[in-house]
Amino acid sequence: MTRLQNSFRDFLLETDPEIFAAIAGEELRQQQGINLIPSENYTYPEVLAALGSVLTNKYCEGYPGRRYYAGQTFADRVENAARERACRLFRAEHANVQPLSGSPMNQAVYLAFMKPGDTILGMDLSHGGHLTHGAPVSHMGQLFNFVRYKTRPDQAGAIDFDEVRRLALETHPKIVLCGYTSYPREYDYAAFRSIASEVGALAMADVSHVAGMIAANVLPNPLDAGFDIVTTTTHKSLRGPRGGMILCRKQYAKQIDNSVFPGLQGGPHMNSIAAAAIAFRKAEETEFQNYARQTLANARALAEALSRAGVTLVTGGTSNHMMVADTIASFGIDGRQAEETLERIGIATNKQVIPDDPNPPLRPSGIRIGTPASTTRGMAEADMARIAGWIVDALRHSADTTRLFRLASEVKELSVAFPIPGFDNLPW
């Protein structure tokens, strides 16, 4: 990166060594460990530069051409580019790129189309649904009536569409929601679309986890299946900045835009929107398509290696970028112990509830594992086999400190051999 950016680093070291040290420590942590948290990734240096740009100084309430403050020439250019690029990438008729992240993005959709007490049909949280898909502790869970469908463990975790249809006919939802935070199988968009049409509901997909693979056309796009609304965060498999966006058919554009602003949010974060636009353009490149394909291949390789070693995977494997391992069944330790043990050897995963988990969310029965971040660093199938070996070894011998110490040094050796792209060029 430029001397100017390096001098920012020196400048911060001088003016605020406490925060400088925390950022530098995080850089080192990210470089020296293997990140298998399926929702995290390493973004591009250009995205980091845009996030740290002067766009953060600007208030931009409203939309391009209709703002509440002067001085919008360049902000409008940024937001128009982001909207156009998002529409092109996902074959969408309209994009709202202002949601600050995943939760407000989904809230804006619910509030655009539903009144308090209205019904929405979404996945049971322990089967893969997200907090914003109706967790009773969330405000949305209290405001709306979330009805939940489930998967069929006896059918390799397939979604029970007979139940989805029965519940839809019984409860008359305004929205039928598909899209998940911990579901490792295909999303059958056509089946959801047909049920939503039958009951006169909107078909909504939250594709936050799989957006990168959809953008690269290696997983199906719900907009191609006639979905009305698609939401996604921009920082997971898409590799952009933290943020959210809503894609929809033209007929819903006004309702969505009004719901995001002024309905729910104030000033958009134009530095993030610029960074998202950069990521959208990069996602059109062949290199990104190869990346998305490799992410899926790596997940398959990791799941197969874990299964061969006797690990019980929820649904028996994966069809996307993630898997959920039942650590109680496989190793006799809960998800929290498993997460902590793996962290000790430098592998980041996260504790995860399994379908109808008898255990509580902070001590659930499993962990969630995914490949977007390790694939960004260039790891491939052979590396996944080694990583599976370390995971199994560590979780089988979680009390053996000497062994964990040895595994940690092997993990670090592999990890530093795969630098974070642009790591030497980071603006920090």
Q: Which residues are catalytic?
A: 59, 61, 206, 233, 236, 242
As beta bridge partners, residue 204 has 177, 229
Nearer to ligand DSN, 45 or 129 (CB): 129
Give the nearest distance from C-beta 411 to ligand DSN in angstroms.
Answer: 22
In the complex, the residues that contact ligand DSN under the rule CB under 6 A are 39, 102, 130, 181
**Exposed (0-12), middle (13-18) or buried (19+): which is 332, by Cβ within 10 Å?**
exposed
Give the nearest distance from C-beta 302 to ligand DSN in angstroms.
Answer: 17
DSSP string, 84-151: HHHHHHHT-SEEE---SSHHHHHHHHHHHH--TT-EEEEE-GGGT--GGGT-TTSHHHHHSEEEEE-E
Give the nearest distance from C-beta 181 to ligand DSN in angstroms.
Answer: 4
Alpha carbon distances (Å) from 358 to 121, 328, 353, 366, 399: 23, 11, 9, 11, 25
> How many CA atoms are closer than 13 Å to the CA of 422, on its beta-carbon side?
14
Nearer to ligand DSN, 62 or 128 (CB): 128
H helices present in 370-400, as ranges: 372-376, 381-396
Give the nearest distance from C-beta 321 to ligand DSN in angstroms.
Answer: 11
Report the C-alpha gap between 424 and 426 in whole angstroms: 6
Nearer to ligand DSN, 204 or 270 (CB): 204
Report the C-alpha gap between 109 and 103 in whole angstroms: 10
Nearer to ligand DSN, 83 or 336 (CB): 336
Report the C-alpha gap between 211 and 246 in whole angstroms: 12
Give the nearest distance from C-beta 135 to ligand DSN in angstroms.
Answer: 11
**Of 34, 38, 41, which Cα lies nearest the Cα of 344?**
34
Give the nearest distance from C-beta 104 to ligand DSN in angstroms.
Answer: 12
Nearer to ligand DSN, 80 or 103 (CB): 103
Residue nearest to ligand DSN (CB): 39
Alpha carbon distances (Å) from 180 to 71, 115, 150, 319: 40, 24, 12, 13
Report the C-alpha gap between 45 and 26 in whole angstroms: 16
Nearer to ligand DSN, 102 or 157 (CB): 102
Q: What beta strand segments (E) does 200-352 contain?
A: 202-206, 229-233, 244-248, 322-326, 347-348, 350-352
Q: Is the dihedral of CA 156, 162, 163, 167 positive or negative?
A: positive
Give the nearest distance from C-beta 63 to ligand DSN in angstroms.
Answer: 26
Nearer to ligand DSN, 33 or 102 (CB): 102
**Of 309, 307, 308, which Cα lies nearest the Cα of 324?**
307
Report the C-alpha gap between 137 and 150 in whole angstroms: 20
Q: How far is CA 91 from the centre of its chain?
A: 20
